[in-house]
Structure 1
Amino acid sequence: MSFSAKCRRPFGLALLASASLLALSSAPVSAQETTKSQKPDEQAVKLAPITIEGQAQNEAGDPTPSVYAGGQVASGGRAGVLGNKDVLDTAINSSAYTEKLIKDQQADTIADVVDNDPGVITSYSYGGSGDRYMIRGFVLDGDDVSLDGLYGTAPRQLVDVSMYDRVEVTKGASGFLNGMSPGGSGIGGSINLVPKRATDTPITSLTTTYGMDSEVGTHLDVGRRFGKDKQFGIRANLKYANGNTAIDDEQRETVAGALSFDYRGDDTRITIDSGHNEKNIDHSRTSITLNSALTSIPDAPSASHNFNADGTWADLQDDFIQGRVEHDFNENVMGYIALGTRHMEESGIYSTSRIDGTDGTMSYSSSYIVRNDTTNTAMGGARIKFDTLDVSHELNVGASGMWNKSHQAWAFGTAPRATGNIYGETPSSFPPLGTPSGNLGDPTLRNTTTVSSLFIADTASFLDDRLHITAGIRHQTVQTTTFSLADGSQSANQKVDEDSPMVGIVANVTEQVSVYANYTEALSVGQTAPFSGVSNPGEQLDPYVSKQYEVGTKADFGTFGGSIALFQIEEPSAFVRNGTYVADGTQRNRGLEFQVFGEPVTGTRILGGVTLYDAKLTDLNNAADEGNTPIGVPDYIAKLGVEYDLPFVKGATINARVVHTGSQYANTANSLEIPSWTRLDLGARYETDIRTYPVTLRANVENVTNNDYWASANGGYLTMGAPLTAKLSLTVDF
């Protein structure tokens, strides 16, 4: 196959047709977000056993935590197998970012949403265009995002968040709460996506968007409830966008659709969520590697400059469906089962760009990579409530399993590498491809992964429910089998099982303040080597166990709140050494987190915080690196966003956000470093009615000063910050 050849796959026509038919058959009904003038206690509409506030959605079984004052975050979120919990009642630190925030900030991907979180740094995957996150200084790969509490079904790489109601970020090791992630990352935290579902207020919303340089899109959102008691709900979303981004000569196409059904009966609840997520990217400015002989890292080029080689492209497509059934056997016993499947297809022509000289001299290799994955996942269990003397208990028992088959093939460019300069011209052609590994037209089975677990936990509540102690254990088993791409023979087989305990305690000191502590362990699938730039592409390292200690305090003063947390997490470190991806020693991260949110003054909203890190590498085979700072972990991160409703223009709001990240090392020797950086984002929106239809005009400008900077050294390669990017959108609710 030539480097310029590319085949676009048809997207989920049936799903998109269903969304269109639903929109055409629905009568226009006016629907608005909760207005800012309402008080928090006036916003909630309660329908037992489900809580809805504004456009908050229904998750089966547990009352959905309501939207908090200001509308940007929720008052709680999913605590894994423990269900939906209020922030003050859990021994973990978490944030749930709402659909309102996603709309108002015109967020496209998960990375855009978690840019609000002071504990998260975003970057690209190795040599590719997928999002990668660093939470509490540890990597969370795109493979390891969960969907409605279930691993294995969420789209990977680039997730279009317009399909989702909330993005929930849980800080710290969550192996007991969520089980083992598919790719083995997420030791520092996890991300869960909450699907959009029908609300009691009918929804018919049409949004048109524009993004620099010429990216134009349309998003249709339709939701209805049916039945005598509105027990049936359908929500459909459809989005298409295409055009050039603010990065020179980079073009992106998005095709996304989601269709959700739910039933809420007196004692039974059912949800079915399906979706299609497709991203097609031409000439993406991907991450960039570093020559091991470098003595310093050159300054970042112009913010909009595309230093990647021309002719690269990537097609990323995910299709998924999952369902959940919950039944109340009586007022004390609830049983549930969840099943899901996802099929993923990815292919692309990639350029592995490498900085070779301090003057910006670069060299380029090439690769053609094809990957198809099929993942099936299941979870079932029961939640049982009972009392012993003056102690109330909530017992959670269950089992989960996940089965993944990954078919892969690749071919790498031959020597010599093409040359260029990061500040100037880039090559227009690549070295020819070498002999493929596997069948590029029909990818060969590369590995299978089976993850299973049994769990039990008891939350005991004392002193009129002011003291909660949770103790649990999850027995986890992971088996990975690797096959040769040359002849299909088995080349490796690993099976490990481990008991992962968790203990947490929460004390409600007052109605507004709680203190908590937790200890947890987690078994994880071994990290996977990058597919290019190393001598062992795609190799999966041995499974490992991580440990976390955490103490903290949380406060909720009605209209604003916050949290402070101290933590320590340890896991085996993995990085590229002498061209090979290896596990060596231990990464120990200690930190202090401070976070604030809410509307402390009517009309003024705040969201942000600070995270301070003390991170070290220990027990390394290379004594010279002992005690050094891990790759990509800064000394601190600070983020603060402020919204202000203009008193002299009804319906007008202005906003600003500042993101500041400390310097980061790009190698374990700590000899290569990227400087600290600051980004300023500004925006405004205006809400009004036109002929009785609510209309919202939004405008946001990211990186207003067009600052050029290296945003992340995560993984030992560099991700550059986006240039000045203006976004406009017009939403009409019918």
Structure 2
Amino acid sequence: MHIPLRFAALIGAIHSGGAIASPTEGAPGPAPILPEVRVEASRVSSYGAETATVAGKLPQSPREIPNSVSVLTRQQMDDQNMVTPWDALSQITGVQAIANDITQGQFHSRGGALEVQQDGLPSTLPLSGYQQFDLALYDRVEVMRGPAGLLQGAGSFSGAVNLVRKRPNDVFAASALASTGTWNNNRLEADVSAVVNESRSLRARGVLSVVDRDYVFNRVHDRKWLGYLTVDYDFSPATTLNLFVANLTNDSTGFSGLPTYTDGRQLSVPRSFNPYPDWNRIEWDTTDIGADLSHRFGDRWTATLKLQRRDQSQFFKDGYANAGVNPATNVIASYARREFIYDYVHEAVDAYAGGPFSLFGREHNVLVGANFSSFDSRGRGANPNSPGSSSLTYTNVLLADPPAVPELEVTYRTGSHSVTTQTGLYGRLTLNLADPLKLILGGRFSDYTYKSRTTAPNPTPTAWARGARAEGEFTPYAGLTWDVSRQLTLYASYADIFVPQTQKRVDNSILDPRVGRQYEIGAKAGLLDDRLSVNASVFNIRDTNRAQSDTANPGYFTTAGELESKGRELELVGQIMPRWDVSAGYTWMDTRWVNNGASTGLPVSFWYPKELIKLWSRYRFADSGPLRGFSIGFGLQGQGTSASGAATSTVAARTQNAYTVYKLQVGYAIDRNWSATLDVNNVFDSDYYTRLGGTNTYNLYGDPRNVVLTVRARY
């Protein structure tokens, strides 16, 4: 290769420390000293994700997806010092987090519970009601709002959360943190990624995390240990195998909220009040193992095979108020004592291939695949409703902290076993109709089965009973994107809803599946040289056949009429100006029965506020001046009025007025490796509930004002 002499001299100067030799002189003269050049640059915001996989398996720009999609990046999780999926999903536009206890919760969007994916693998193990791994395991959290049946299979109209694991880096990287805060809220975390061999074909990453903390609630303690190891191996430049194993162990006192007075009023007690016995406890143990094999073809096609298995166990032993508190005597009529062990096994396989092809002089894209998932649930234990366990009820307990409820040795009296299985074939075709116009067509054929039985130690075990079942159920999808300009994309989409149900009518027949559809239109814009994304959407959903209690036949169900969920969303993510990152979202939603007898016109659930607002903003001061190294952060989360349900003739509805919780943060970069932040959560000490429950439990206060100090090191 011929290199001009002047450029050869420049290359020589780089290797020799900066002196440029004259190409025309036989003997080198004195080396000229070049003036110092100082280069400064502001990093592009890493709150805005360039691609997402939740809607199409293969990476896509959010502008290419004709649906509402949000991505919470690793950088934003770190900036906000997030720890759990509750922290992450509470921050995402359109998602409402509803507490169950201190170990897990429920996550809803557009009027239904969200589905979950693990690295794109659809799961029949639900997101809500089951403990998930802490965020130390994940690189990002993706959320698509609206029906996700094309890739997910059976599911409601709410959407899907894709939890994307960390992978090994191709260079050495290490980080660690230590944090402490109010109520002995302590956390340690380490994350190391390294290249293992000289050819760089083998790479590994390990994550360790320990959480040891109390809560505002008296006598409540929580310990969690997380370990994660993942390995990448390149069989060739085009073929990569990923293996991983992860474990989360959680030992908790447990806390599931307060009862109310028998007339429905909330208790007049401090937020620290704990109405549970000292011996209450909850234990979780979760282990994931899995593998991904991916091959990249020369024509930009990719084929992938993913396998994963999750083994999860839950043990709980507790006593809880089984009735409201008499306001005249402060006595609770009864406490229920119980003990259960549940073992869950989730297995999933997904194989797909996709890439571009040419037709009629234009390039189009196609994705085809098949997946399988199963959820096996086994439980055994006893409560007052178990055969021969009436002694587990303890009556006439004075409301106290702690209550005088004695612990009993529990004899297990009941057992259960259920299996849910789903398989599907899916495909998605993206047609490039014109340079700015793309049509997306997709469909899925699904098979679904559910069966259950009663097992020992129940005195009368039963044979398998078949429940929900579907064969060859077709779920269509259609979308359209129009690039109006380089900065603006308009879109529209249609999606079907299909949810098999397990509940029975009084004649023991299984309820018909829930069916429905969603229409969505929206706009996605990239402003300020694409540093700032602005997304707006409007949606309308109809859903029929939802299970509802048969009031004439307790324990049985009937199908409801038609409900409507409609709303609009606005999201802004990215960088407003150099060093100023922002993530903000606003949601207005209304869910009502449009045809359901006496319920027509009423809200589908009083839990759902009409408005949600989320904001996080962080500004880093310039690298010179008196505030060099400092940053300030500001956040808020607010919602409109919500309630526990409709009032009855004897019990008032518990209503919570609109509220907003604020957060402030001060950060300081000590040097290029060390940094510290001080977070002040609930700055104005707002008094609010993260859930409004029934008369016996699930009325949970949100945290009062508290502080957390975090120190990070990166290498």
Note closer, same or farther for the CA distance 1:686–1:511 as it changes in structure 2 (3 Å cut): same
Choose which of 147, 159, 167 in structure 1 pairs with 2:133: 159
Q: Does 1:323 align with 2:291?
A: yes
Tell me how far 1:299 sits from its aligned partner: 6.5
Instruction: Give the secondary-structure state (helix, strand or coil) at the position aligned to 1:397.
Output: strand
For 1:733, give the aligned amino acid. R
Q: CA offsets per residue over residues 23-71 of structure 1, 9 Å max, x none?
A: xxxxxxxxxxxxx97445xxxxxxxxxxxxxxxxxxxxxxxxxxxx432
Tell me how far 1:372 sits from its aligned partner: 0.3
| In structure 2, distance between residues paired with 1:297 and 1:158 | 33
| In structure 1, distance between residues paired with 2:91 and 2:248 | 23
1:637 aligned partner = 612
Residues 419 and 426 in structure 1, CA contact (< 8 A), matched pair in contact too: no
Q: Does 1:592 align with 2:574?
A: no
Note closer, same or farther for the CA distance 1:81–1:658 as it changes in structure 2 (3 Å cut): closer
Residues 300 and 356 in structure 2, CA contact (< 8 A), matched pair in contact too: yes
Q: Does 1:269 align with 2:240?
A: yes
Note closer, same or farther for the CA distance 1:88–1:384 as it changes in structure 2 (3 Å cut): closer
* Aligned pairs, number: 642
Q: Does 1:660 align with 2:630?
A: no
Q: Does 1:561 align with 2:533?
A: yes
| In structure 1, distance between residues paired with 2:533 and 2:233 | 34
Q: Does 1:707 align with 2:677?
A: no
For 1:174, give the aligned amino acid. A
1:549 aligned partner = 519
Q: Does 1:603 align with 2:574?
A: no
For 2:270, give the aligned amino acid. S
Tell me how far 1:263 sits from its aligned partner: 3.2
Residues 664 and 712 in structure 1, CA contact (< 8 A), matched pair in contact too: no
Tell me how far 1:176 sits from its aligned partner: 0.7
For 2:314, give the aligned amino acid. E
1:25 aligned partner = none
Tell me how far 1:386 sits from its aligned partner: 1.2
| In structure 2, distance between residues paired with 1:169 and 1:728 | 29
| In structure 2, distance between residues paired with 1:39 and 1:581 | 62
**Structure 1 range deviating more: 709-718 or 546-555:** 709-718
Tell me how far 1:549 sits from its aligned partner: 1.3
2:590 aligned partner = 614
Aligned pairs for 1:31-430 (under 5 A) are 38-39=41-42, 69-125=44-100, 129-140=103-114, 144-152=115-123, 156-180=130-154, 184=155, 187-227=157-197, 230-264=200-234, 265-282=236-253, 284-287=254-257, 294=263, 296-298=264-266, 301-353=269-321, 356=324, 359=327, 364-413=335-384, 414=390, 416=393, 418=395, 425-429=401-405
Residues 381 and 397 in structure 1, CA contact (< 8 A), matched pair in contact too: yes
1:461 aligned partner = 432
Identity %: 20
For 2:567, give the aligned amino acid. G
Q: CA offsets per residue over residues 498-543 of structure 1, 9 Å max, x none?
A: 11111011111111111111111132343789xxxxxx9xx99764
What is the TM-score with the length of structure 1 in the denominator? 0.80
Q: Does 1:476 align with 2:446?
A: yes
Q: CA offsets per residue over residues 476-518 of structure 1, 9 Å max, x none?
A: 1110001013314223433113111110111111111111111
Tell me how far 1:417 sits from its aligned partner: 5.0
| In structure 1, distance between residues paired with 2:131 and 2:411 | 27
Instruction: Give the secondary-structure state (helix, strand or coil) at the position aligned to 1:101.
Output: helix
For 1:653, give the aligned amino acid. S
Instruction: Give the secondary-structure state (helix, strand or coil) at the position aligned to 1:102.
Output: helix
Residues 365 and 430 in structure 1, CA contact (< 8 A), matched pair in contact too: no
Note closer, same or farther for the CA distance 1:602–1:715 as it changes in structure 2 (3 Å cut): farther
Residues 701 and 724 in structure 1, CA contact (< 8 A), matched pair in contact too: yes
For 1:607, give the aligned amino acid. S
**Structure 1 range deviating more: 239-248 or 340-349:** 239-248
Instruction: Give the secondary-structure state (helix, strand or coil) at the position aligned to 1:230.
Output: coil
1:686 aligned partner = 668
Tell me how far 1:307 sits from its aligned partner: 3.8
Tell me how far 1:576 sits from its aligned partner: 6.6
2:628 aligned partner = 650
Note closer, same or farther for the CA distance 1:232–1:197 as it changes in structure 2 (3 Å cut): same
Tell me how far 1:254 sits from its aligned partner: 0.6
Tell me how far 1:632 sits from its aligned partner: 0.9
Tell me how far 1:113 sits from its aligned partner: 1.2
Choose which of 677, 688, 693 in structure 2 pairs with 1:698: 677
Residues 678 and 709 in structure 2, CA contact (< 8 A), matched pair in contact too: yes
| In structure 1, distance between residues paired with 2:603 and 2:79 | 41
Note closer, same or farther for the CA distance 1:270–1:628 as it changes in structure 2 (3 Å cut): same
2:709 aligned partner = 728
Instruction: Give the secondary-structure state (helix, strand or coil) at the position aligned to 2:120.
Output: coil
Aligned pairs for 1:417-456 (under 5 A) are 418=395, 425-429=401-405, 436-438=412-414, 444=415, 446-456=417-427
| In structure 2, distance between residues paired with 1:405 and 1:332 | 38
Consecutive unaligned residues in structure 2, runs of 5 or more? 1-38, 385-389
Note closer, same or farther for the CA distance 1:273–1:544 as it changes in structure 2 (3 Å cut): farther
Tell me how far 1:301 sits from its aligned partner: 4.6
Q: Which has the larger radius of gyration?
A: 2
For 1:139, give the aligned amino acid. A
Residues 581 and 617 in structure 2, CA contact (< 8 A), matched pair in contact too: yes
For 1:167, give the aligned amino acid. V
**Structure 1 range deviating more: 708-717 or 399-408:** 708-717
